[in-house]
Amino acid sequence: MIARDLMNSEFPYYVTADVDAAYVARLLSRCQAGAIQVVDEHLSPIGIVTRSNFEDGAGETVSTYRSNGRSLRDVMTPHPVSVDETAALAEILRLLEAHKLKRIPVVNGERLVGLLLRKQVMDAVRQSADAPPLEHADDATAQSSGEFSAAHFRTLVAAHEQALESEAVQRRQNAQQLREQRIKELAARRLTDAVWRQMLASARNAATAGLREFMLLRFPSQLCSDGGRAINAPDPHWPETLRGEPADIFRRWRDELQPQGFQIAAQIIDFPDGLPGDAALFLMWGGGDN
C-alpha cells in the first residue's frame, strides 16, 4: 500500500502565497482536513497553514482572524515535509513520527497531488496488522498435511520475501516513470521573472544568514543533454548541456549577475546506485573557483 492509495480522494484545499491571510483563515474553518496548503505557480508546496497558525494572544478563533497587515507568508509554516505518492506505508509512518505531524502533503515529483492525514495512515497500519485467523483443525490433520512443518514455514517466508521484492520493483518502476515525467515537464518549463526574483530574494536571505552560496535549483541530471556527465567530470563546457529552466537560469546569471561579480557552479549532488542522480545550480558570492 502506497501514499496514492491512502490519500484523500478529493483534492485538498490549496492557495498561493499572495492570498489574503484572513480569507485563508475563513477557508480553514470549513476545511475538514484541518490544513490549507500553500503552493507556488507550479503547484509545488511551499508552506502549510493549520488552525494553530492563526492563534494569537487575544484568543481569536480562526473564523474571526484579522491579518492586520500580515501576509500569508508571515503566517504559514514554510518548507513543509512532503511524501511522494509512491512512498510505502512504512516510510509514511516514519516521516509522521519523526516530524510529529498530523498530516503530510503528497507530491508527484514536485507537484502537489493530495494530503494524507495521520488517522488514515494509522488505520492502514492497523488493517495491515490484522492477519486472518488460522482455520481450526486437529493437530494430527495439520501435521500430516505439513502445515506446521519447518519446510512449510520456510515456504511462507519465501512467499513474503517475494511479495516484498515485487512491491519494491513496482515502487522503483513507478519512481522511474515519475522521474521521466518530471524531466519532460522541466525540459518544457521556462524560467519566469517571478520565479527568478524569488530565487534572488532567497539568495539574499542566505547571505543575510552568513552563507556564501545558495542552491538556485535542483533537477534530474538526465535533464542535461549528456545525462550530467559534463557536470560530473567537470567539463568547462557543462553549461552547453543544460536544457529547460536550468538553461534559462544560467543565461540570466550570465547576463545579469556575472557582471556584478557573482559566480555559478553546477554539481551532481547524489549518486543512486552509483550513477549520477540529481544535479544542482549554485549561486556563489564568497570567492573560490568556478
Residue 289 is predicted with a pLDDT of: 44
User: Which grid coordinates are listed for 30?
Assistant: 470549513
CA distances to 42, 68, 165 from 9, in Å? 21, 35, 28
Residue 171 is predicted with a pLDDT of: 66
Q: Say whether pLDDT at 94 is over 70.
A: yes
Residue 57 is predicted with a pLDDT of: 47
Residue 136 is predicted with a pLDDT of: 46
pLDDT tens per residue across span 187-196 = 788 889 988 9
Sequential DSSP letters for the chain: -BHHHHS-SSPPPEEETTS-HHHHHHHHTT-TTSEEEEE-TT--EEEEEEGGGG--TT---GGG---TT--HHHHSEES---EETT-BHHHHHHHHHHHT-SEEEEEETTEEEEEEEHHHHHHHHHHHH-PPPPPP--HHHHHHHTTTSHHHHHHHHHHHHHHHHHHHHHHHHHHHHHHHHHHHHHHH----HHHHHHHHHHHHHHHHTT-SEEEEEEEEGGGSTTTTHHHHTT-TTGGGG--HHHHHHHHHIIIIIGGGT-EEEEEE---GGGS--EEEEEEE-S----
Residue 193 is predicted with a pLDDT of: 92
Q: Say whether pLDDT at 260 is over 60.
A: yes
Residue 75 is predicted with a pLDDT of: 85
Indicate if the alpha-carbon torsion angle 187, 218, 221, 286 is positive or negative: positive
**Contact status, residue 201 vs residue 272, Cβ threshold 8 Å:** no
pLDDT tens per residue across span 59-80 = 555 656 666 667 888 888 898 8
55 vs 206, which has greater pLDDT? Answer: 206
**Cis? peptide before 234, omega within 30° of 0:** yes
Q: Say whether pLDDT at 167 is over 50.
A: yes
1 vs 92, which has greater pLDDT? Answer: 92
Average pLDDT over residues 141-162: 67
Task: Specify whether domain 3-122 bears CATH 3.60.60.10.
Answer: no
The reported pTM is 0.44
97, 102, 106, 111 alpha-carbon torsion, rounded to 10°: -110
Q: Say whether pLDDT at 264 is over 90.
A: yes
Grid coordinates 552509483 are at which residue? 274
Residue 282 is predicted with a pLDDT of: 93
